[in-house]
Amino acid sequence: MTGPSVVVLDYGSGNVRSAVRALEHVGAVVELTGDPDAVLAADGLLVPGVGNFHSCMEQLSAAHGPLLIDRRLAGGRPVLGICVGMQVLFEGSDEPSPTPRPGLGEWPGRVERLRADIVPHMGWSHVRAAVGSALFAGIEDERFYFVHSYAVREWEMPVPTGAFTVVAPRVTTSTHGESFVAAVENGPLTATQFHPEKSGEAGLALLRNWLQTL
């Protein structure tokens, strides 16, 4: 019996082989590709991201990433963003760039430079897992590996008024100089600021938890 199928989106953003290997290790059938048919057909889509926010958005747009992500989410198909792959899900970033680009706007809020004595935040940190988190089930007290200078600060999805039933996203935080968003679980859309594929056994457990939601 094979595991769920996962596409790691290949759009030119950094070394993604470690993500492929980690997903394979926890039982996924993984394909590294930007092929639209494969992206839309997979049980899960992982969107990686390293480096500059705006460069990632440029590469992602060139690979039709925004459209593919929108189409998956419209159909309730799971997407997992990692590191800058999480940041681009927000409205924008204050990171310097000669050609600034807006984010995908799946969530409100901006990515800002961390206010800490030492930046970048590089190393292992504990998180404060959201109550009821499926992503952190059984690993609430573990540490995860971060490499970043920018992040979203404390944040909550605004709840619309009127006759709407809204499930609030589960927001997990961590601290480096100040509190920041370390992970979000929001229906089919999930993201982590840290690198689960570089976080040892805790990261593998988190990816296994994600696979179980597909």
AA identity, residue 104: L
> What is the rounded CA–CA span in Å between residue 111 and residue 57?
13
In the residue annotation, 56 being an active-site residue is answered as no
pTM of the model: 0.94
- Residue 87 and residue 184 in contact, taking contact as beta carbons nearer than 8 Å: no
Q: How does strand 44-47 pair with strand 178-186? A: unpaired
In the residue annotation, 83 being an active-site residue is answered as yes
Q: Which residues of the chain have pLDDT under 70?
A: 1, 156-167
Q: Which residues contact 182 (CB under 8 A, 6 or more apart)?
A: 125, 127, 128, 144, 146, 172, 173, 174, 192, 193, 194
pLDDT of residue 1: 60
Domain 5-212 architecture? 3-Layer(aba) Sandwich (3.40)
pLDDT tens across 97-138, in order? 999 999 999 999 999 999 999 999 999 999 999 999 999 999
pLDDT of residue 130: 96
- Residue 80 and residue 32 in contact, taking contact as beta carbons nearer than 8 Å: no
**Among residues 83, 121, 176, 185, which one is catalytic?**
83
**How many beta carbons lie within 10 A of that of residue 27, not counting itself?**
16
> What is the rounded CA–CA span in Å between residue 91 and residue 86?
11
**Sequence-separated contacts (24+) of 88-93 with Cβ below 8 Å:** 88/47, 88/49, 88/53, 88/56, 88/57, 88/60, 89/189, 89/191, 90/152, 93/53, 93/54, 93/150
> What is the rounded CA–CA span in Å between residue 8 and residue 54?
20
Q: Tally DSSP H helices, then E strands, for the chain.
A: 6, 12
CA atoms within 13 Å, Cβ hemisphere of 91: 6
> What is the rounded CA–CA span in Å between residue 86 and residue 151?
9
In the residue annotation, 64 being an active-site residue is answered as no
pLDDT of residue 127: 98
What tokens were used for 5? Answer: 């199928």
pLDDT of residue 2: 83
